[in-house]
């Protein structure tokens, strides 16, 4: 496939997504499918909900086309079907709230299906350490990773432009990684996600005209959870999962950290907030406004400003992920030092902003 093909596919898909989201705005407004402000909300007035349906629809259509007419997509097709079921349940939840355990159960089944298709991480590489052979321990690690990221992405969809912009960057990242590991399948899936998310983002950028909804955020979180697992178990050919050579095994070991780095701003924010609330004895399943990005908004930061901060973080960690995967020069050292350092600086920054905001109110 030529560069022209990739560019035209991306541009065409993004345009279709933009037009489809425009139709969704009219339809959801007419049907009164709206996001009503509540305690967790960062918006003041009802807004159309369900823009993520365009992301889901076009990604599944594009993937379905590839399944029918391109070799190497059969296994991905099963996962896309599972992602579609998760999206359907999430759309139901958007319209009529479902119990948390029901949603979690569906995500768990989705993770199990993905692992049945692509297996699990049995080798993990970390900077300057020997490759870890984790064997069967990879089963719970991979399971928690997929379920956790599915929910984390949902938790981070709370202000204008945040989830959409991160999906564009992460999708482009996986498209590039597909080129690095010689997998057109991975590149195309990343491109579909990035293009559909961009079309949505043009309507969701602050001030948003429509929200993504769980239908989009759970769908994206699940796919981003499965991508590094799929890449690890079929580095150059998704249909050949049993004949990996030493080089492929080493490359597969790089995928867990690669997947984490690409979405580190979301992972760190969600993990830190979860642990903090758990430590304080709070109900971690209850809606709240204690994520780092929400705390910045509460202090007076605009949605656009916070989203731009997270875009900057996402771009930095994408570069670290690509450098880590390519094992270029001192970039593994940059990953080793940058991961905790940037995260600590993020915490310090949020804390100082909150301190200044409190001082100004006195």
pLDDT-derived band of residue 184, with 50, 70 and 90 as boundaries?
confident
Go through the chain and tell me how many residues it has. Answer: 362
Task: Provide the mean pLDDT of the chain.
Answer: 89
d(CA 349, CA 218): 29
3-state class percentages of the chain: helix first, strand second, coil last, to nearest 5: 70, 5, 25
Judged by average pLDDT, the poorest of 124-128, 193-197, 210-214, 358-362 is: 358-362
337 cis-preceded (ω within 30 degrees of 0): no
Contacts (Cβ under 8 Å, ≥6 apart) of 190: 170, 171, 172, 173, 174, 175, 176, 177, 178, 227
Task: Please compute the mean of the pLDDT values over residues 343-354 and round it to a whole number.
Answer: 89
Question: What share of the chain has pLDDT > 90, as a percent?
Answer: 62
Task: Please compute the mean of the pLDDT values over residues 234-245 and round it to a whole number.
Answer: 44
- For residue 232, CA distances in Å to 226, 227, 248, 325 come to 10, 9, 8, 12
- For residue 264, CA distances in Å to 124, 158, 195 come to 17, 17, 21
Condensed to tens digits (0 to 9), the pLDDT of residues 250-301 reads 888 999 999 999 999 999 999 999 998 888 888 776 777 889 999 999 999 9
pLDDT-derived band of residue 41, with 50, 70 and 90 as boundaries?
low
Q: What are phi and psi of 49, to 5 degrees?
A: -125, 145
pLDDT-derived band of residue 54, with 50, 70 and 90 as boundaries?
very high
Render 103-145 in DSSP notation, one character per residue.
HHHHHHHHHHHHHHHH----EE--TTSPPEE-GGGHHHHHHHH
Contacts (Cβ under 8 Å, ≥6 apart) of 61: none
Task: Please compute the mean of the pLDDT values over residues 348-354 and round it to a whole number.
Answer: 88
Residue whose C-alpha is closest to residue 123's, from 306, 291, 246, 236: 246
**Which H or E run includes 47?**
strand 47-48
Q: What is the pLDDT of residue 291?
A: 92
d(CA 351, CA 251): 38
Task: Please compute the mean of the pLDDT values over residues 27-51 and round it to a whole number.
Answer: 84
**10 vs 359, which has greater pLDDT?**
10
d(CA 34, CA 213): 10
Condensed to tens digits (0 to 9), the pLDDT of residues 137-172 reads 999 999 999 999 999 999 999 899 999 999 999 999
Q: Which two tokens stand for residue 193?
A: 């996600």
Q: Which two tokens stand for residue 168?
A: 């564009």
d(CA 9, CA 16): 11
Q: What is the pLDDT of residue 180?
A: 86
Helices (H), the chain: 3-30, 52-69, 74-95, 100-118, 138-155, 162-180, 184-204, 214-232, 246-262, 264-279, 292-298, 303-326, 331-361
CB 235 within 8 A of CB 177: no
Q: Which two tokens stand for residue 210?
A: 């429509």
Q: Domain boundaries in the chain?
A: 3-263
Judged by average pLDDT, the poorest of 209-213, 280-284, 344-348 is: 280-284
Condensed to tens digits (0 to 9), the pLDDT of residues 64-118 reads 998 887 776 788 899 999 999 999 999 999 998 888 899 999 999 999 999 999 9
Question: What share of the chain has pLDDT > 70, as a percent?
Answer: 93
- Tokens 């699990």 belong to 120
pLDDT surpasses 50 at 49: yes
pLDDT surpasses 50 at 332: yes
Task: Please compute the mean of the pLDDT values over residues 184-196 and round it to a whole number.
Answer: 94
pLDDT-derived band of residue 244, with 50, 70 and 90 as boundaries?
very low
Condensed to tens digits (0 to 9), the pLDDT of residues 115-138 reads 999 999 999 999 888 889 999 999
Coil, helix or strand at residue 184: helix
Q: How many CB atoms lie within 10 A of CB 150?
A: 29
């Amino acid at each position: 496939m030529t560069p022209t093909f990739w560019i035209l596919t991306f541009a065409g898909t993004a345009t279709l997504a933009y037009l489809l989201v425009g139709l969704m705005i009219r339809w959801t407004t007419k049907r009164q499918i709206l996001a009503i402000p509540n305690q967790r909300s960062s918006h003041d007035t009802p807004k159309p909900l369900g823009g993520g349906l365009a992301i889901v629809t076009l990604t599944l259509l594009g993937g379905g086309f590839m399944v029918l007419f391109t070799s190497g997509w059969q296994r991905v097709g099963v996962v896309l079907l599972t992602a579609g079921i998760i999206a359907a349940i999430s759309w139901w939840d958007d319209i009529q709230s479902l119990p948390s355990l029901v949603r979690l159960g569906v995500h768990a089944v989705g993770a199990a299906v993905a692992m049945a298709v692509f297996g699990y991480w049995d080798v993990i590489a970390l900077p300057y350490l020997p490759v870890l052979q984790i064997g069967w321990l990879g089963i719970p690690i991979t399971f928690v990773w997929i379920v956790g990221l599915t929910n984390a992405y949902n938790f981070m969809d709370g202000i204008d432009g945040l989830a959409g912009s991160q999906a564009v960057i992460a999708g482009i990242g996986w498209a590039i990684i597909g080129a690095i590991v010689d997998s057109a399948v991975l590149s195309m899936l990343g491109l579909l996600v990035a293009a559909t998310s961009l079309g949505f983002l043009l309507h969701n950028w602050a001030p948003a005209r429509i929200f993504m909804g769980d239908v989009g955020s759970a769908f994206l979180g699940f796919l981003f959870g499965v991508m590094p697992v799929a890449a690890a178990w079929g580095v150059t050919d998704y249909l050949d999962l049993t004949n990996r050579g030493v080089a492929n095994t080493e490359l597969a070991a790089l995928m867990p950290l690669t997947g984490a780095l690409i979405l580190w701003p979301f992972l760190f924010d969600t993990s830190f907030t979860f642990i903090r609330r758990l430590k304080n004895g709070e109900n971690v399943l209850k809606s709240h406004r204690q994520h780092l990005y929400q705390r910045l908004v509460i202090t007076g930061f605009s949605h656009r400003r916070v989203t731009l901060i997270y875009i900057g973080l996402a771009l930095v960690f994408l570069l670290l992920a690509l450098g880590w995967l390519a094992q270029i020069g001192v970039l593994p050292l940059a990953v080793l030092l940058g991961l905790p350092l940037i995260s600590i600086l993020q915490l310090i920054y949020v804390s100082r902003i909150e301190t200044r905001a409190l001082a100004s109110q006195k």
